[in-house]
Amino acid sequence: MNIAVLCSAHGFGHVGRQLAVVERLLMLGHDVALYTAAPPELLRVTRPAGQGALTIVPWRVDVGIAQLDSLTEDLDATRVRWREAVTRIDLLADAVRGMDHAIVDVAPTAMEACRRAGVPATAVGNFDWAWIYEHYPALTEFAPQMKAWQSHHRAVALSPGPGMHGFRGVTQVAEPLALCATPFRPDVPGRAVLVAFGGLGLNNLAAWLPRIPDVTWVLAPPSPAVERDDVRFVADARFPALLAGVDAVLTKPGYGVLAEAMLCGTRLCWVDRGHFPEAPYLERAMRDRGDVKVQGGAGGVEQAVREGLARGRPAAQERTAVDHIVRAIGVGIR
């Protein structure tokens, strides 16, 4: 089968978890076209020789929420970019026309493009954008259109998260979805703490990183380098492998990093994400696994990291979400 995978351009969490699905589809012999705005260096997948073919199509499917950095929303820019995304639906429909199936994570514009193109589509996500937009008075006017576009399709709801609403039917998956890799341990002195704020970054990142004896901060693309003797930039390792190999991660509540940490058993220390509606559901899962929240902004980072390192690694969870999704979308070996 020819399968399109279309991912929201909101950070890299959407495409990151779909890479696990892409790898499985390729192994099953399907050809996959991945539509994403993520940079090529983040799109490395394992594909055994002789299996399905992968085509990466640079495409900004939608905007999600425009942000100034990973902690700060820009609702005015979101309104402008959403209207622009709507004008490109027919172009996307032309691009995917003829595909046998599509997986959409979780852009409403892509769902509508698939309907116009006559391509069966399954939405996969731990939330839907109509639900998110309804939480912002500046964006709520767009939610009814999103709901109408979602209503034609079935969905797979991932955990943790608020779920998927207003679809033709929903399949629940309890396990986290992420791309796991063999752990890569960076060659650094002391304890290695990965700094992971995704594609949206964090303003004045260096100010968030205190000097902690016996701790080396580890940065990787797309984060910028920080020129300090207690910081190492690692450019030649897959991010999931790096996350699995470090002692802890400093991050914000986001599905991608949390799911990867749950599957490989890496401790998280997280900073407050403000009013983003998904955050309380992710924070609940973080607390349940014993992760540590930073109290008091940048000044509380050292205490949280010390506490997280002292707690050690949590148990790794099962990696079965991909199997559930492949069954839910009904694609087997060709």
Output the DSSP codes for 19-86. Answer: HHHHHHHHHTT-EEEEEE-S-GGG------TTS--EEEEE-----SS-EEETTEE-HHHHHHHHHHHH
Classify 10 as helix, strand or coil: coil
When the candidates are 3.40.50.300, 3.40.50.2000, 1.10.40.30, 1.10.260.40, the CATH number that belongs to 2-177+320-329 is 3.40.50.2000
Domain 191-311, CATH homologous superfamily name and number: Glycogen Phosphorylase B; (3.40.50.2000)
Reading the chain (334 residues) residue by residue, the pLDDT tens digits are 999 999 998 888 899 999 999 999 999 999 999 999 998 878 877 766 668 999 999 999 999 999 988 889 999 999 999 999 999 999 999 999 999 999 999 999 999 999 999 999 999 999 999 999 999 999 999 999 999 999 999 999 999 999 999 999 999 999 999 988 899 999 999 999 999 997 667 888 899 999 999 999 999 988 888 999 999 999 988 899 999 999 999 999 999 999 999 999 999 999 999 889 999 999 999 999 999 999 988 899 999 999 999 998 999 998 899 998 998 888 765 4
Please report the pLDDT score of residue 312 as a whole number: 87
Q: Give residue 49's pLDDT.
A: 65
Q: What is the pTM of this model?
A: 0.94
DSSP, collapsed to helix, strand or coil, labels residue 293 as strand
* 7, containing H or E segment: strand 2-7
* Distance from chain centroid for Cα 319: 16
Please name the residues in contact with 113: beta carbons below 8 A apart, sequence gap of 6 or more.
6, 89, 90, 92, 93, 95, 96
pLDDT of residue 334: 47
Please determine whether the domains at 2-177+320-329 and 191-311 fall in the same fold group of CATH.
yes
**What residue segments make up the domains of the chain, in order of their start?**
2-177+320-329, 191-311
